[in-house]
Structure formats: structure tokens, C-alpha cells
Amino acid sequence: MDNFWKTFLEIEKNKPYFKKLENFLLLEKQANKTIYPPSENIFYAFHFTPFNNIKVVILGQDPYHGENQAHGMSFSVPKSQKKIPPSLKNIFKEISSEFPNKNFIPKNGNLEYLAKQGVFLLNATLTVEAHKAGSHQQKGWEIFTDTVIQTLSVKNKNIVFLLWGAFAHKKSFLIDATKHCILKAPHPSPLSAYRGFFGCNHFIKANTYLRKNNKSEINWLE
């Protein structure tokens, strides 16, 4: 983890809300509840994408709550997980439609290739109980990740924020739209992807914005 994120985490972990959050997670573990992602991967996105390298933020809500799915990056699954989750399938479909000449066929659902390029894959809640979606919401994670978003907005510039779905849209108030690019669309879930996620052209639009601001584009195709 780079020095900025290390210092940031140290500061947040000393705040009362985070100590309550840690206590909650400890009690859950003591109750023998299975929590995803594994503890060593909770801050995986922070390890993978240094603060000053961040060009795009993709905001998710919860980690996946199935076995061998969550690994600390929004929408991403480990390489060992051969089944690509439905929302991620739709993300890949949209990428394919935006770059039709590239014959994009993802081998798996691991998005580390994007994180390495400066795509920060952040969930609003960083843990979840197995098979219980939303089980760790309103325990303190949102305070932490709202602070992350605000910090990115204040201390960085020319980041593209991809906000998909009503939950993510509500986070736009944390972002200074005069310094950054905010792109909104429906969630890529099968329930809503056909309401405007497909055809949103967010990946092309993100690259166009980055190029205009003298930043290297993201290669969205693995």
C-alpha cells in the first residue's frame, strides 16, 4: 500500500466510528459467522491502486456474498472463480459493444488489470456476511468510504467517477463536479441494465475525458 493510503487508514482507524466497526466485525467472527472478503483482502483495492495513480473510480455497493467471489474490489472476482457474476457479465457486454473491433472475450472476472491502470474499484461497504446481502451496511463502512470519496475529490483532480444505480448516484454530492467528471447510469444488474446501462458509453466517455486532461487512457480490454 502506498504511503498516502497507509496514513489515511491509520487516521481513520483511530476514529470512534471505526473502532465501533472493528468491534462489530470482531463479535461477528466470535459468533463463527463467515465474512467476505477474507480479512487480508478487505483493503485490496487500496493496495492495488496508489492514490496518485487513480484516474477512474467505479463505485459498488456490497462485496459479493457467495463463496470465493469477493476479494476486495468492486464487481471483481478472483481468477479462481470461473463463474462471472451477472452484473460483471453486463459490464463486459457494454465494454464489448463500445469497442466492437477488439474481439473482447474475458478469460475470467478478475479486474486487477484495470486496477493496475488506475481504476479504483471501491465498494461502499467493504465486508458482508456470507449469503446475506447488505448485512454489514450502516455499521460504519459508509462513513469510511464517503471519506475516501471526499478525499479523492479534494486532493486529486480530473478523476472520472462511474456511478451506476440509485445508490451510487446518491454519492455524487461528495464529488466536486468542477474538478472531476461524474458519469451516471442505471446499475449493470440484469434487473436494470436494459434501462440505460447498455449503451451508456461510459468507457469511451471516460477515455475521452482522460485524454482531454492529458492522462493516459484506460485499456478496458484485458
62 is catalytic: yes
The helix/strand/coil state of 173 is helix
Question: What residues are paired with 120 via a beta bridge?
Answer: 57
Is residue 124 packed enough to be buried (19+ CB in 10 Å), middle (13-18) or exposed (0-12)? buried
Residue in the block written with cell 465494454: 95
What's the length of the chain?
Answer: 222
Measured CA to CA, the distance from residue 87 to residue 185 in angstroms comes to 13
Residue in the block written with cell 471526499: 150
Phi, psi of 95 (to 5 degrees): -60, -45
Active-site hit among 2, 62, 146, 176: 62
Measured CA to CA, the distance from residue 93 to residue 181 in angstroms comes to 23
The helix/strand/coil state of 120 is strand
Residues with a catalytic annotation lie at 62
